[in-house]
Amino acid sequence: MWFDKIVGSIEDNVKKVFDNIAEAARKSGRKPEDVILVAASKTNSAERVREAFGAGVRYFGENRVQEMTEKAALGAYSGAQIHFIGHLQRNKVKNVVGSADLIQSVDSDELLELISRRAAGLGIVQDILLEVNIGAEESKSGVLPEGLDELAAKASVLPGISVKGLMTIPPVSADPLDSVRYFDRMYKLFVDISAKKYDNITMDILSMGMSADYAEAISAGANMVRVGSAIFGARQYTK
C-alpha cells in the first residue's frame, strides 16, 4: 500500500492530515472545523496515542475492547474522546457502554438491545452510530442499506440509546475513486434518514473515509473521518 512509505513523525503526519481535511472541507464549501478527525490508533501504544494528542488530535478510535481498556487505563485518551469503531461482540458490550464516548459500529437489533439494557442499568445514555454495509459485502459488518430504516425505527424506541448518525467502511479498492460511488450512496441514505425524523435520532454525524480516501469522503459529505496509517504509519500486527 502507498502508506507503507509514510515515514514522517506522528506530529508531521497529523499536520498533513489536518491540512488535507481543511482543504477538502473548504473545497466543498464547509469549514475545516466542521470535519472531525478520528485517529484510528489500533496496534499503537499509549505513548504513540499521546504523541498524536500532542499534535492536536482530540478523537481516537479503537477496534478491540481489550486494547481500548488497557490503553485507557494508561491515560492514552485523557482530554480526548474515545470511539469504539470495531466489530462489537455481544459479550463485550458491558465493557464498552459508558467507556466509549461513541460506539460507531452498531448494526443489529440484538446489539441495540444489549447496549440499551446496559446503558439503562448504568443510568446513562450511550451515543451510537448505525453502521451500514454499503457495498453489501458478505464478509463485512453493518446493516444492509435496505435494513437501515427498520434498525433506526428499533433504535428510536429503546431507552438509553441516542443515535447520532451513520458509519460505513466501503469495499476495499486500489483506487480511491472507486470509493466515491459508495460515499455518494451513503450520503443519500444519510439525507433520506435525516428527513424521517425518528425520535431519539439526530443525523449529525456521517463517519466515512480512511487513510486512502478521506479527502474523497469529505467531498461526498462526510463530517467525520477515521484515519490510521496516514498518521501512525503502517500497522505491525505481529508485535
Ligand X SMILES: *Cc1c(COP(=O)(O)O)cnc(C)c1O
Q: Can you give the binding site for ligand X, defined by CB under 6 A? A: 40, 42, 63, 85-86, 169, 210-211, 226-230
| Nearest CB to ligand X, comparing residues 133 and 229 | 229
Question: Closest separation between CB of residue 213 and ligand X, Å?
Answer: 9
Q: Least Å distance between CB 51 and ligand X?
A: 16
Report the largest interatomic distance among the alpha carbons of the chain, rounded to a whole angstrom: 48
CB 220 within 8 A of CB 178: no
Burial of residue 107, with CB atoms counted within 10 A of its CB: 0-12 exposed, 13-18 middle, 19 or more buried: buried
Residue whose CB is nearest to ligand X in the complex, by number? 228
CB of 140 to ligand X, least distance (A): 10
Nearest distance, CB of residue 64 and ligand X, angstroms: 10
Query: Which three three-digit cell numbers place residue 1?
Result: 500500500
CB–CB of 155/203 below 8 Å? no
Which DSSP category does 129 fall into? Answer: E
**β-bridge mates for residue 130, sequence order:** 106, 166
CA 29 vs CA 38, 91, 212, 216, 226: distances in Å: 21, 43, 22, 14, 21
Cβ 121 to ligand X shortest distance, Å? 27
| Closer by beta carbon to ligand X, 83 or else 160 | 83
Minimum CB distance to ligand X smaller for 189 or for 227 = 227
Task: Compare residues 65 and 169 and give the one whose CB is closer to ligand X.
Answer: 169
**Between 145 and 228, CB nearer to ligand X:** 228
